[in-house]
Amino acid sequence: MTTIEKAHLINEKYKAFNFIAEALEGGEGLLSGVAVSVKDNVCVNGMQSTAGSKILEGYIPPFDATVVAKCRAEGAGILGKTTQDEFGFGTFNVNTGYGVPLNPHDPERSTGGSSGGAAVVTAVADFPHLAIAESTGGSISCPASFCGVVGITPTYGRTSRWGLIDYANSLDKIGCMGKTVREAALLLTVISGPDKYDSTVLHEPTQDYTSYADGCAEGLKIGVPEEYFGEGVDTGVTEKVWTGIKTLESEGATVTEVSMPFTKHSLSSYYIIAMAEASTNLAKLCGLRYGLHMPLEGNFDEYFSEVRTLGFGEEAKRRIILGTFTRMAGYRDAYYLKALKVRTKVIEDFKRAFKHVDVLAAPTMPVVAPKFSEIAELEPIQHYMMDILTVAPNLAGVPMISVPCGEHLGMPVGLHLMTDHLEEGKLVKAASAVEGAR
């Protein structure tokens, strides 16, 4: 059976793809023989790219995103586009204009979002596979934790965002997933580095991150933020995460508690900033240039409203409205500018902690993957609260990795490791020690 045929079987069972390639074309290089799946908000030449939204149905980019081009240059074959929450708007990958992906450990449970499809394919593929994913507030770490795979979110600007269908420009980061730490580190090695098309990318030397996957934690200083183990974190999750932390200690690391006092304010700051940027970014989807369009009737406001009413899902509309509100005259100072000041305080929290420790360790998510029946009973604010452990490092733009550290209720639990900006090597080193000990 070919890899493409296997991808179709995965899709039939788990609804993991929005688009699958007709053929897998590869070449020579670091990713020779590897099938790379691409989150649906990262453009691939000739493949429908919708960011999970009906408003972009039928949009076929005439170019590759830089990260995709780098994978092709190293011999990878592009397998297809994986499912996601619409524009990244979700924690459970249920806010989609297309199929809702199913968790491979229990199809009655969520994969996590917004990069749910990427995590599913990574978990179940029985062929060489790596996944390009993307995170704004935890969209790589969450599904990696829920599906029991490794997810790396790099430093903001470590990878080019050229060819990404934006959610929030100051927060979006393209990263990777793999079955193992070494596999995810290999993809990060390939996609990192400068890009002439992206003015926000960092001009820092790239590294071979696989060289850090030696399973050794000797000499690492691990900080455990007390605020990440508070109310709402399942005791079973806490137990498994501490098992992972103790593993690092047994492998030669030292462990100490640290305080991150602005963690409690990070969720509100994140959602104000992210929604404000999203409402601005999505204004361009008005039915005139690409994506969904209608017969040109009435004035522009009427046409614009009709297209967006039909094309956007309920959560997208909610975030556009909230984001527009926070940018309005009279509210911008009270909400948006204040949220930016809080963001600075969150960054200072991390910088202060990293003066004393190399790596921060916490639960990736407060719970294991919930059942769809449980998600259906949640209010929107409860969806947002699920991101409480992942939004702070995303606000700060620091790199992070979710690595499996055990199971609770028969479902995977992720250990979240975070380091200072551009210290991805330490992340890989610590995560490989946890993985090796298991």
| Active-site residue list | 39, 114, 139
Structure-token match 């499996």, residue found: 404
Q: Which spans in 312-390 are helix H?
A: 314-327, 338-353, 372-375, 380-385
Helical (H) or strand (E) element with 250: helix 235-250
Judged by phi (left if over 0) then psi (alpha if -120 to 50, else beta), residue 204 lies in beta
Under 8 Å between Cβ of 116 and 89: no
Pairwise CA distance, residues 155 & 175, whole Å: 9
Going edge to edge, which strands form the sheet with 150-153?
17-20, 77-82, 35-39, 129-135, 173-178, 150-153, 400-408, 411-419, 359-363, 221-225, 254-258
Helical (H) or strand (E) element with 232: none
The neighbour count for residue 268, using CB atoms within 10 Å, is: 15
Half-sphere exposure of residue 386, counting CA atoms within 13 Å on the CB side? 26
Under 8 Å between Cβ of 121 and 129: yes
Under 8 Å between Cβ of 138 and 83: no
Tokens for 161?
């965002």
Pairwise CA distance, residues 354 & 348, whole Å: 10
Structure-token match 């100051």, residue found: 170
Pairwise CA distance, residues 163 & 43, whole Å: 5
Structure-token match 């990713």, residue found: 31
